[in-house]
Structure 1
Amino acid sequence: MSNHLSSSSHKVEVFYDGECPLCLREIKLLKWLDRKNRIQFTDIAADDFNAAEYEKTPAQFMDEIHGRLPDGQWIIGVEVFRQLYSAVGLGPLVWPTRLPGISHALDFGYQVFAKNRLRSTGRCTKETCEVG
């Protein structure tokens, strides 16, 4: 597995949980929209995925969506979605999400989702959802 985007045509790499039903719906839509192959999709649930190759822990990848730009810059949360939808040509729909009130609401909504993702998709275990 490469620690770099595999093609200069990729605009963003997304690290997604391939075992999350809600996440997979979004990824399937993005793959369908990505007709110019601008997105590199990396499944963090794949058997051969090794978080350490990216100098991150599995928990970091599981806590919230991660993305990486061609220059190696990491992005997380709602910004990943902005970059993904811009990469597939939906930039005009993305810019309003940067407006202060909308941006804060989206960030809050995503944080609530990310914190409860395993519970809401029926994937809680004693290790993943138990409060310490």
Structure 2
Amino acid sequence: MSAPVKVWYDGACPLCLREIALMRRLDRRGRIAFIDVAQGSDPSCPVDRAQLLARFHAEEDGVIHDGAAAFAAMWRAIPLLRPLGLAARSPAVLKLLEALYIRFLRLRPRLQRFFA
């Protein structure tokens, strides 16, 4: 049986590696399949590799999410973070999280250099 959530991440990003390491520790039930796309494309993913590297993506119940919605999908698979993931199903909460994610993307290059 495959994991119910699939997460594609940039394994060449030191910041991403730290976050994924934390998520792996929290995913005690093994409900998330983490796929590093820095090394190459994933043939099972319908999203272009460049898009996967530019923006966070996850698949939940056959639906591909990106940005804040992808984080929410990942959080729903982790019991400790599930309430936050469920809250993100609210359009208002998801809109706020997406705005924060877009701001983070602007800072990401500087943060990557800091964590390198």
TM-score band by shorter chain is: 0.7 to 0.9
| 1:50 correspondence with 2:34 | no
TM-score relative to the length of structure 1:
0.71
User: Structure 1 residues 70 and 106, CA, compared in 2 at 3 Å: closer, same or farther?
Assistant: closer
Q: Which residue of 2 aligns with 1:106?
A: 97
Query: Where in structure 1 are there 5+ consecutive unaligned residues?
Result: 1-6, 124-132
Q: How big is each residue's C-alpha offset from its partner over 1:16-68, in whole Å with a ceiling of 9 and x where there is no partner?
A: 0111121111101110011111000000112xx225x2343322112201111
Q: Secondary structure at the match of 1:41?
A: strand
- Give the number of aligned pairs: 112
Identify the match of residue 51 of structure 2 among 46, 56, 60.
Answer: 60
1:84 aligns with 2:77: no
1:78-131 deviation line (CA, Å, top 9, x unaligned) = 1111111110113223333344443222101111222442343139xxxxxxxx
Aligned residues of 2:76 and 2:86 also touching (Cα < 8 A): no
Normalised TM-score (structure 2): 0.80
The residue aligned with 2:13 is 20
Q: Which runs of 4+ in 1 moved over 6 A?
A: none
Bigger Cα Rg: 1
Q: Which residue of 2 is the match for residue 75 of structure 1?
A: 65
Q: How far apart, CA to CA, are the structure 1 residues paired with 2:75 and 2:67?
A: 13
Q: Any conservation in 1 of the 2:69–2:88 contact (CA below 8 Å)?
A: no
Aligned-pair RMSD on alpha carbons?
Answer: 2.2
Question: Could you tell me the percent identity over the aligned residues?
Answer: 35
Structure 2 stretches lacking a partner, 5+ long: none
For residues 57 and 94 of structure 1, do their structure 2 counterparts lie closer, same or farther at Cα, with a shift above 3 Å needed? Answer: closer
